Chains A and B, each alone.
Chain A
Amino acid sequence: MKNKMMTFALATVMTASSAAQANISGDEVNIGVLTDMTGLYSAVGGAGAVAATEMAVEDFGGEVAGKPINIVSSDHQNRADIASSKSREWIDNEGVDVIVEMLNSSVAIAVQKLASSKGVVTINTGAGTTALTNEECAPLGIHYVYDTHALPVGTATAIVENGGENWYFITADYAFGQSLEKNTSEVVKANGGTVVGSVRHPLSTTDFSSYLIQAQSSGADVVALGNAGTDFTNAVRQAGEFGITDTQTLAGMLVFISDVHALGLETAQGLQYTSAWYWDQNEETRAFGERFLERTGSMPSMVQAGLYSAVTNYLKAIEETGTDEGKSVRAFFGETTMNDMFHKNATVQPNGRVIHDMYLLKVKSPGESERPWDYATVEGTIPGDEAFIPLSESTCSLKK
């Protein structure tokens, strides 16, 4: 509210005095990083997400349009209510101009809705649900890295083609898991497979035994894990204990490099998964990966790398438009084609979906790995228009 009025007041003053002066609310640009600092996704985003944002700001020179850039960060604890009241406070009281990351779909849905209603851009690099660019889409929301539609296109197709026809799901029971299960089932069926059953588990579960036993007694060829972070790694480890991997194929629908690192190659080898980015793709990606590794002690996940790119492009948008006003910035994103170390020829659809290529990766065996963090090979590329829902099929009301 205050922020909006200030923008308005500033706008009037600025146009009156000099048009060349940048129109920045509060004379600074505030970036709010809302992430999971302590929970099951903290290795995927967390402190690394803040580091990625800092790197982007530093590389940009620390200021934009002649104004300083501040970063604030907060732990959403995977609770949408905490996230939404924190965002409200940021926007109302601290003049935050953009909220980024939001690694948790419930959080992302709540914050995107709130922020858009208050004229603040959100760039979501963490959460996966397709609802963000469909039924829950918002005028100032951008969904940057991946979504639950893009993940199974590569992974599930490859597994069904290798003979995994009957699928059983172990799914995290919230917006992300439900969306992932639905999208994956569609891909499985489209490729001629069948879904024989599913079971839902609460977010942040440490004992998967009873779910795994249900999956085992279903007799399915493939046990698909519709969860992420430590939920995923816990499930994979325990699947080994109960001998599931002897008779059934485990399919990780959302795998991050941090998960492979936590499991170790011995356990994770052979796993196929879909990612928007991998550090060992070319000179550019390797350069960023090494810098990030030096700074944080781990290679960036696609979420962290995507965040670097998102913040950089956000600052570029302010530089070009001369304002941090939400609508103008979002409009700028709509007209640009992004080319950087994270993605090439990437565009933003009117519903907020960023379209870029995705990659099918396969985890190396311990023998194939030549150095620390050398974990995967790129097996194939999924073109952006196949990976993501075409605009014509989006249920978003803003798609024109």
Chain B
Amino acid sequence: MNRTLWVILIGACLIAPFFVYPVFLAKLLCFGLFACAFNLLIGYTGLLSFGHAAFFGSAAYVCGYLARDVGLTPELAVLSGGLAAGALGYVFGALAIRRQGIYFAMITLALAQIVFFIALKAPITGGEDGLQGVPRGNALGFIDLSDSKAMYYFVMTVFLAGFWLIARIVDSPFGQVLTAIRENEPRALSLGYNVARYKHMAFVLSAALAGVAGATKTIVFQFASLPDASWHLSGEVVLMTLLGGLGTILGPMVGAFTVVSLQSELSGFGSWVTVAIGLTFIVCVLLFRRGIVGELEHLFRKRSSSVKVDQKPAVRPESSTETQ
């Protein structure tokens, strides 16, 4: 990502709360980070996880518990949430990367269900009631987050740090290898890369960052609850990423902002929100597989040069051959 884009992004983040309800903005950023973390896996490694809510949710609970019952400061609680999700990602990743394509998706989904039921039954999670009354606390021990704007800037810092990290990973040699695996796994293998280890690393990183997003959400809403770990959320994050553009750096953020705004705008129309989301999904899959940012980039590139653009969808076409 170039410098101009960074300046615009940071500038927009800084002035936004003077125009829009800060709590809503904080929510946007949390889900934006979640989608970006997810994109690291699907967009850059070509693995579709259908259980990413497990990481978002488990970190939300861990963070809530540590902030409320142990009394950690919010930044430490968020960090611990991310670490816990990363550890969970290590285990899930080890199990799931043994299979590919559709099997990979279904295994992650089923593993996430185990997390969901633990969240439902474990004594500290509050079951159906959720883990309520998490204090926003004082960031670094002295910044009072009970003020909405202070809280927003806290979330913004977390978001920008996470986003920066993802951008760095993507541009790093490690990220290049991931892309190589996505494009052609056998070739990456034949070049001597330990493909399984790279995939596993990407899985852990993605899980940890998704966890940071979930933990931050807990601090904002003072709440961790079952929907944070449910498969509906796992599906939603796929939609956000797909809508914004798989494998584009800004896409997932745009997608997350669109979906969350849509939900908020339509919240007065009851379950028609679900219908609208489902329709968006269908339209995206059928017509705009590149996503909003992907389509824009495509248009831009088509205009600026006549270089042939890769038409392939971001998910590897051959990933399902194994299951045939």
Residues of chain A at the chain B interface (Cβ within 8 Å):
1, 37-38, 74-75, 79-81, 84-86, 88-89, 92-93, 105-106, 109-110, 113, 173-175, 202-203
**B6 interface hit (Cβ, 8 Å):** no
Contact, CB under 8 Å: B23 / A92: yes
- 0 or 1 for each of B149-192: is its CB under 8 Å from A? (1 = yes): 00000000000000000000000000000000000000000000
Docked complex Cα distance between A109 and B223 (Å): 12
Whether the pair B270, A79 counts as a contact (CB closer than 8 A) is no
| Interface contact A113-B133, CB-CB below 8 Å | yes
Given A80-B130, A174-B127: A1 and B223 within 8 A (CB)? no
Contact with A along B189-230 (1 / 0, CB 8 A): 000000000000000000000000000000001110101100
Cross-chain contact of A79 among B133, B148, B225 (Cβ < 8 A): B225
Are B129 and A175 in contact, with the CB atoms below 8 A? Answer: yes
| Contact flag A93-B223 (CB < 8 Å), given A1-B148, A81-B130, A203-B128 | no
Complex Cα gap A1–B270 (Å): 28
Contacts of A202 in B (CB 8 A): 120, 128
Please measure, in the bound complex, the distance between the C-alpha atom of A399 and the C-alpha atom of B145, giving whole angstroms.
30
How many Å lie between the Cα of A80 and that of B223 in the bound state?
9
Render B118-151 as a binary contact track against A, CB cut-off 8 A, 1 for contact.
0010000001111011000000000000011000
- Contact between A106 and B21 (Cβ–Cβ < 8 Å)? no
From residue 231 to 252 of chain B, which have CB atoms closer than 8 A to chain A?
none
B271 CB within 8 Å of chain A: yes
In the complex, chain B residues 18-32 whose Cβ is within 8 Å of any chain A Cβ: 21, 23-24, 27
Residue among B130, B147, B148 with max Cβ neighbours from chain A (10 Å): B130
CB closest chain-A residue, reference B130: A80
Minimum CB–CB distance from B144 to chain A (whole Å) comes to: 13
**Chain B residues numbered 91-140 whose CB sits less than 8 Å from any CB in chain A:** 120, 127-130, 132-133
Spell out B's residues near A (CB within 8 Å): 21, 23-24, 27, 120, 127-130, 132-133, 147-148, 221-223, 225, 227-228, 267, 270-271
The smallest beta-carbon distance between A294 and chain B, in angstroms, is 25
Minimum distance in angstroms from B263 CB to a CB of chain A: 11
Q: Chain B contacts of A80 at CB under 8 A?
A: 129-130, 132, 223, 225
Give the docked Cα–Cα distance between A175 and B27 (Å): 27
The main secondary structure of chain A at its interface with chain B is helix
Contact of A89 among B21, B120, B129 (CB under 8 A): B21
Instruction: Say what secondary structure dominates the interface of chain B.
Output: helix
- List of 3 A-B pairs having minimum Cβ-Cβ separation, nearest first: A174-B128, A106-B129, A81-B225
Q: Which residue of A lies closest to B146 (CB)?
A: A117
A-B contact sample (15 more), CB < 8 A, given A80-B223, A106-B128: A1-B147, A38-B270, A38-B271, A80-B129, A80-B225, A81-B223, A81-B225, A85-B223, A89-B24, A92-B21, A110-B132, A110-B223, A113-B133, A174-B129, A203-B128
Could you show 10 A-B contacts with beta carbons less than 8 Å apart? A79-B225, A79-B227, A80-B223, A84-B221, A85-B27, A85-B221, A110-B132, A113-B132, A173-B128, A202-B120
Most buried by B among A1, A80, A86, A92: A80
Chain B residues in 8 Å Cβ range of A173: 127-128
User: Which residues of B lie under 8 Å from residue A89 when comparing CB positions?
Assistant: 21, 23-24
Complex Cα spacing A109 to B222, Å: 13
Q: A1-B148, A38-B270 are in contact. Are A106 and B130 (CB under 8 A)?
A: yes
Q: A292: shortest Cβ distance to chain B, in Å?
A: 23
Q: How far is the CA of A113 from the CA of B221 in the complex (A)?
A: 13
Residues of B within 8 A of A1 (CB): 147-148
Given A92-B148, A113-B133, A173-B128, A81 and B271 contact (CB-CB distance below 8 Å): no
* Distance of A109 Cα from B27 Cα, bound (Å): 22
Contacts of B24 in A (CB 8 A): 89
A279 to chain B, nearest CB (A): 29
A364 to chain B, nearest CB (A): 34
> Considering residues B24, B120, B127, B129, which has the most beta carbons from chain A within 10 angstroms of its beta carbon?
B129
**Smallest CB separation, A75 vs chain B (Å):** 6
Please give, as numbers and ranges, the residues of chain A lying within 8 Å of B21 by CB-CB distance.
Answer: 89, 92-93
Residue of B whose beta carbon sits closest to that of A84: B223
**Complex Cα gap A79–B24 (Å):** 18
Q: Which of B27, B127, B128 has the most CB of A within 10 A?
A: B128
A75 to B127, CA, bound (A): 21
A110 vs B127: C-alpha distance when bound (angstroms): 14
Residues of A within 8 A of B227 (CB): 79, 81
For B223, the closest partner residue in chain A by CB is: A81
- Chain A, Cβ-Cβ closest to B24: A89
Chain B residues with Cβ under 8 A from A175's Cβ? 128-129
CA distance A84 to B127 in the complex (A): 17
- A37 vs B148: C-alpha distance in the bound complex, in angstroms? 30
A293 to B130, CA, bound (A): 36
| B225 neighbours in A (Cβ, 8 Å) | 79-81
From residue B208, how far is it (CB to closest CB) to chain A in Å? 23
B59 to chain A, nearest CB (A): 15
Known: A81-B227, A109-B132, A110-B223. A88 touches B23 (CB 8 A): yes
In the bound complex, CA of A74 to CA of B132 (Å):
20
B127: A residues at CB distance < 8 A: 173-174
**Complex Cα gap A175–B127 (Å):** 9
Closest-by-CB residue of B relative to A82 is B227
The distance in angstroms between the C-alpha atoms of A85 and B225, with both chains bound, is 12
Q: How far is the CA of A113 from the CA of B129 in the complex (A)?
A: 14
Q: How far is the CA of A106 from the CA of B228 in the complex (A)?
A: 16
A105 nearest CB across to chain B (Å): 8
Q: Give the chain B neighbours of A38 by CB distance below 8 A.
A: 270-271
Q: How far is the CA of A79 from the CA of B130 in the complex (A)?
A: 9
Alpha-carbon separation in the docked complex, A319 to B132 (Å): 35
User: Bound state CA distance, A106 and B127, in angstroms?
Assistant: 10
Residue of B nearest to A174 (CB): B128
Cβ of A201 to closest chain B Cβ, rounded Å: 11
